């Protein structure tokens, strides 16, 4: 029996005023239930969580697994506005989607077709900070199947000057999406700062700032999707470094550039696509000295300042810092498939939104 991959298809839609009001009320109800459940769980840990509270249960699972902080109450202004509908609360037929207790169907912009012959199992409606409405339909995708096996592997070193450096010697430029819109973002943020708090003008100014952020995020996500899809299609095994991004962004000088590079999002996409298509992702321990180790003779250098981009080993081999690191990551990653080594395997359950709290990184990017 063939098991199909569950895949979410996301679309924009334009609600009527009545639909927008009703959905906003439901977002508030979802937030209220979550907060009440969190309060009950905090006061009495034995209180069972029902199916409707599975997201809170997931948050606690990540917390106890030391992958996230203790769950926090959701803010009306800052939390993600979303509501999830199961099969009994929506109707999808012939490209028309209607939600329970709504007189009219949603005006969805069907930018791509759903897999033929499949029906969504859940529907999630959301609104982002820029005021855009989205509907995500989760359904089986029979088109996602393991790709033909390949015998190659690639090591990847992440950086800022170049987003990625491959062990093949290829360097992928960092598009720096945030830098392109930095002037526009700064202009809108200055205008926002001048508006009176609580005023309608401030709300409109905040929306303009959010739209700039949304444009940057959309461009970044598009780049990462194209890049990760290409890597998964071309390589059977992909070796990366287990970077501690959460701690690295505490460096004020590099925080903006690190956030714009979106290494965590890159890894998340890479891992779930590898799982889809039968590939393997191996994460090498962050303390592995990939930059200071000669990939030719194995000699370990005492130190390797960040400003050193090319260096020559005592054996006579001259290295490009990033390419050498990618070679060493690849070798360390492949070692685990033979006898085990100081590396960490692919996460057992790839999550597009997960983040890991770890010790400070051994080096700057």
104 plus 165 within the same structural domain: no
User: Which pLDDT does position 43 carry in this prediction?
Assistant: 66
169 plus 116 within the same structural domain: no
- Kindly state whether residue 359 falls inside one of the protein's structural domains: no
Rounded CA separation 165/104 (Å): 51
User: Which pLDDT does position 328 carry in this prediction?
Assistant: 93
172 plus 47 within the same structural domain: no
88 plus 119 within the same structural domain: yes
| Residues in the chain where the model's pLDDT stays below 50 | 1, 45-52, 342, 344-365
Long-range Cβ contacts of 70-74 (<8 Å, 24+ apart) = 71/38, 72/38, 73/35, 73/38, 73/39, 74/31, 74/34, 74/35
- Kindly state whether residue 202 falls inside one of the protein's structural domains: no
108 plus 224 within the same structural domain: no
- Kindly state whether residue 168 falls inside one of the protein's structural domains: yes
72 plus 165 within the same structural domain: no
- Kindly state whether residue 355 falls inside one of the protein's structural domains: no
85 plus 120 within the same structural domain: yes
- Kindly state whether residue 205 falls inside one of the protein's structural domains: no
The CATH number linked to 309 is 3.30.420
User: Which pLDDT does position 175 carry in this prediction?
Assistant: 94
Query: Which two structure tokens, joined as six digits, stand for 55?
Result: 């997201």
Q: Which of 114, 141, 168 is the last residue of a domain?
A: 141
- Kindly state whether residue 241 falls inside one of the protein's structural domains: yes
120 plus 166 within the same structural domain: no
157 plus 251 within the same structural domain: yes
0.85 exceeded by pTM: no
82 plus 161 within the same structural domain: no
User: Which pLDDT does position 7 carry in this prediction?
Assistant: 86
Residue 344: count other Cβ atoms within 10 Å of its Cβ.
14
Helices 17-43, 54-64: axis angle to 10 degrees equals 50
- Kindly state whether residue 65 falls inside one of the protein's structural domains: yes
Give the structural domain span for 246. 153-176+211-345
- Kindly state whether residue 350 falls inside one of the protein's structural domains: no
136 plus 160 within the same structural domain: no
* Contact indicator for 124, 135 with CB cutoff of 8 Å: yes
Q: Which residues are catalytic?
A: 157, 241, 322
Cβ neighbors of 205 (< 8 A, separation 6 or more) are 188, 191, 192, 195
Tell me the β-bridge partners of 345: 282
Backbone phi, then psi, for 6, in 5-degree steps? -80, 125
Number of domains in the chain: 2
Rounded CA separation 267/58 (Å): 20
Query: Which two structure tokens, joined as six digits, stand for 216?
Result: 């940057």
131 plus 215 within the same structural domain: no
């Amino acid at each position: 029996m063939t098991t199909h991959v569950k895949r979410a298809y996301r679309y924009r839609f334009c609600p009527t005023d009545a639909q927008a009001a009703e959905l906003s009320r439901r977002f508030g109800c979802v937030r209220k239930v979550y907060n009440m459940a969190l309060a009950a769980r905090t006061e009495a840990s034995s209180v069972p969580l029902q199916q409707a509270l599975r997201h809170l249960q997931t948050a606690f699972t990540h917390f106890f697994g030391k992958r996230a902080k203790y769950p926090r109450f959701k803010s009306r202004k800052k939390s993600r506005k979303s509501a999830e509908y199961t099969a009994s609360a929506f109707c999808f037929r012939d490209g028309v989607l209607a939600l329970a207790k709504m007189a009219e169907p949603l005006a969805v912009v069907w930018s791509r077709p759903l897999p033929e012959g499949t029906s969504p199992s859940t529907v999630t409606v959301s609104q982002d900070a820029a005021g855009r409405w989205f509907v995500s339909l989760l359904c089986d995708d029979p088109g996602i199947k393991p790709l033909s096996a390949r015998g190659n592997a690639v090591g990847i070193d992440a950086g800022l000057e170049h987003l990625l450096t491959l062990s093949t010697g290829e360097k992928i430029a960092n598009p720096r999406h945030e830098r392109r819109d930095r002037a526009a973002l700064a202009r809108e943020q200055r205008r926002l700062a001048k508006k009176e708090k609580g005023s309608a003008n401030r709300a409109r100014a905040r929306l303009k700032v959010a739209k700039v952020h949304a444009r940057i995020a959309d461009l970044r996500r598009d780049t990462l999707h194209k890049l990760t899809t290409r890597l998964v299609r071309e390589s059977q095994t992909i070796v990366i470094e287990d970077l501690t991004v959460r701690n690295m962004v505490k460096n004020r000088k590099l925080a903006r550039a690190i956030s714009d590079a979106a290494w965590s999002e890159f890894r998340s996409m890479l891992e779930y696509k590898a799982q889809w298509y039968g590939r393997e992702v191996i994460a090498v321990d962050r303390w592995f000295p990939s930059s200071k180790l000669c990939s030719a003779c194995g000699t370990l250098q005492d130190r390797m300042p960040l400003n050193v981009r090319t260096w020559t080993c005592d054996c006579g081999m001259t290295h490009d810092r990033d390419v050498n690191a990618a070679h060493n990551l690849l070798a360390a990653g492949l070692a685990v498939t033979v006898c085990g080594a100081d590396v960490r395997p692919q996460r057992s359950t790839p999550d597009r939104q997960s983040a890991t709290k770890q010790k400070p990184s051994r080096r700057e990017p």
